[in-house]
Amino acid sequence: MPKRVIDQIDVTGKSVLMRVDFNVPIEEGRITDDRRIVQALPSIRSVLDRGGRLTLMSHLGRPSGRGFEEEFSMEPVARRLGELLSMEIPLAPDCVGPDTVRVVASLRNEQCVLLENLRFHAEETLVDQAKKNPDKRLTPEQAAQVDAFASKLASLGALYCNDAFGTCHRRHVSMYDVPMKIGAGRRVCGFLLQKELKFLGDALFAARRPFIAILGGAKVSDKIGVIESLLPKVDRILIGGAMAYSFFKARGQEVGRSRCEADKLDLARRLMEKAGDKLVLPSDNVCAAELAPRVATQVVGEAIPSDQMGLDVGPQTVERYRQIVLGAKTVLWNGPLGAFETPPFDAGTRALAEALAEATARGATTIIGGGDSAAAVEAAGLAERITHISTGGGASLEFLEGKSFPTIDILDEG
Ligand code: AMP
């Protein structure tokens, strides 16, 4: 059942509490990538244009949870949001407390306030953190603290909107307990969340074929869940990145000094058996003696020389993968094909980004599952030529693993 969306409820004169993901990179007080703010604008405008009173809340970075820390203040975000909306966006002194309540209560129709960082309060993430405890439970005192924090946040809105896909895999107070308290019939999803659910959901349940997944990155162990979940659904899974060397080693091939998970070889073997022809591995590799810029490189076949490490897929693999991608109707990509932060080992990842852009132009639906591959596509200036770039790295991986998200399940149905 699709979720009810923000434009399907009457917000005029009502206070809307919207959870957004404004966890943007900030260097020396400057936002270096404002995409997450820009992508939340349609939901924000939908509330303001219809005369709603909007309170925005988000986390930023990983503060200690013991109160205000300048470094993690939402202040640069409030400024940037104000520029984008051409209006003053006040920043509340905290996310809860009497002063914040006063600021929120003073909002008039079409006005908006941003709360200070949710994670200045340890309660926001306590439930997830308690999962690491031996009994996975909160103490009764912690449970009471979490409940009180949720009540204070929930009192700031009559309606709740979740537009924070990047945090949906986290059972944090602002994501779960707050909408539970605000209640059924008053909790909806934003446009960004709706878009993520549509593209990632269609990939899982209604993909046009051929459906190709490309998985790269460092570790097989991080991607087992996704590989297992996608195997029955896709026509091929193309493997790249250091992860390929764990599969190579599991097949008994020489991997030299390549990054590889020696303790996951059984797992790699099991996945290869299960996948059969569907799993495609690189046929050539770009190697070097060390991972550093401008080192001498060589292209080798499947066996990596003992003094070398494999750092990118080779040109033959790029061409094979490109042809497969160009023949697809749906392409889903997560994880770089090489150590792409260090040129020239970004060549394979860049070439794959180009291939996806080309496939999009030919009518394929192309989806990037966030994280490093999203960064690579942005860096290559190809973002506009991809059908959908997910805003959630971890969240999109867990979604593709088929995990259920209670934070989304509890939202109203449309
Ligand atoms: P992940 O977080 O698992 O998606 O992995 C991304 C990281 O894997 C990036 O930092 C890449 O630089 C790194 N990576 C990908 N391929 C290689 C490789 N062949 N050797 C070393 N690091 C790699």
Kindly indicate the confidence band of residue 414, based on its pLDDT and cuts at 50, 70 and 90.
confident
Kindly indicate the confidence band of residue 3, based on its pLDDT and cuts at 50, 70 and 90.
very high
Q: Say whether 152 is catalytic.
A: no
> If DSSP codes are grouped into helix, strand and coil, which group holds residue 16?
strand
Q: Burial letters for 68-107: b for 16+ Cβ neighbours within 10 Å, e otherwise? A: eeeebbbbbbbbbbbebeeeebebbebbbeeebeebbeeb
Summarised one tens digit per residue, pLDDT across range 275-305 is: 999 999 999 999 999 999 989 999 999 899 9
- Over its C-alpha atoms, the chain yields an Rg (Å, rounded) of 23
- CA 46 / ligand 1 centre spacing (Å): 39
Q: Say whether 136 is catalytic.
A: no
Summarised one tens digit per residue, pLDDT across range 216-240 is: 999 888 888 899 999 999 999 999 9
What global pTM score does this model have?
0.91
When mean pLDDT is compared across 130-134, 141-145, 247-251, the lowest value belongs to: 130-134
Residue to probe by mutation, ligand 1, list 215, 337, 341, 345, most atoms within 8 Å of CB: 345
- CA 357 / ligand 1 centre spacing (Å): 22
User: What pLDDT sits at residue 84?
Assistant: 98
User: What pLDDT sits at residue 354?
Assistant: 97
Residue to probe by mutation, ligand 1, list 308, 340, 400, most atoms within 8 Å of CB: 340
User: What pLDDT sits at residue 284?
Assistant: 97
Q: Burial letters for 305-324: b for 16+ Cβ neighbours within 10 Å, e otherwise? A: eeebbbbbbbeebbebbbeb
User: What pLDDT sits at residue 134?
Assistant: 82
| Residue 133 clears pLDDT 90, i.e. is over it | no
User: What pLDDT sits at residue 209?
Assistant: 97
| Residue 132 clears pLDDT 90, i.e. is over it | no
What are residue 309's DSSP bridge partners?
Answer: 288
Q: For ligand 1, say whether the CB of 314 is within 6 Å of any of its atoms.
A: no
Share of the chain above pLDDT 90, in %: 91
Token representation of residue 85: 């909306």
Peptide bond into 344 cis (omega under 30): yes
> What is the mean predicted confidence (pLDDT) over 117-133?
93
Residue to probe by mutation, ligand 1, list 227, 259, 285, 377, most atoms within 8 Å of CB: 259
Q: Quote the CA–CA distance of 340 and 357 in Å, as a whole number.
A: 18
Q: How far is CA 149 from the centre of its chain?
A: 26
Kindly indicate the confidence band of residue 30, based on its pLDDT and cuts at 50, 70 and 90.
very high
> What is the mean predicted confidence (pLDDT) over 345-359?
97
Q: For ligand 1, say whether the CB of 370 is within 6 Å of any of its atoms.
A: no
Share of the chain above pLDDT 70, in %: 100
Distances (CA, A) of 358 to 35, 140, 331, 345, 363: 23, 56, 11, 22, 9
Atom of ligand 1 at shortest range from CA of 340:
12
> What is the mean predicted confidence (pLDDT) over 396-412?
95
Q: For ligand 1, say whether the CB of 339 is within 6 Å of any of its atoms.
A: yes
Average pLDDT along the chain: 95
User: What pLDDT sits at residue 129?
Assistant: 87
Summarised one tens digit per residue, pLDDT across range 149-196 is: 999 999 999 999 999 999 999 999 999 999 999 999 999 999 999 999
| Residue 35 clears pLDDT 80, i.e. is over it | yes
> What is the mean predicted confidence (pLDDT) over 347-373?
95
Q: Quote the CA–CA distance of 11 and 44 in Å, as a whole number.
A: 12
In the numeric block, the tokens 């920043």 are attached to 91
User: What pLDDT sits at residue 330?
Assistant: 97
Backbone dihedral angles phi then psi of residue 53, each to the nearest 5 degrees: -110, 115
User: Among residues 314, 371, 392, 393, which one is catalytic?
Assistant: 371
Q: Say whether 240 is catalytic.
A: no
Summarised one tens digit per residue, pLDDT across range 363-401 is: 999 999 978 899 899 889 999 999 999 988 899 999 999
Q: Say whether 394 is catalytic.
A: yes
Delineate the domains of the chain, giving CATH numbers in brackets: 6-195 (3.40.50.1260), 207-400 (3.40.50.1260)
Q: For ligand 1, say whether the CB of 336 is within 6 Å of any of its atoms.
A: yes
Closest protein CA for atom 11 of ligand 1: 339
> Which of 224, 308, 319 minimizes the C-alpha distance to 274?
224
Summarised one tens digit per residue, pLDDT across range 104-113 is: 999 999 999 9
User: Among residues 36, 50, 80, 249, which one is catalytic?
Assistant: 36
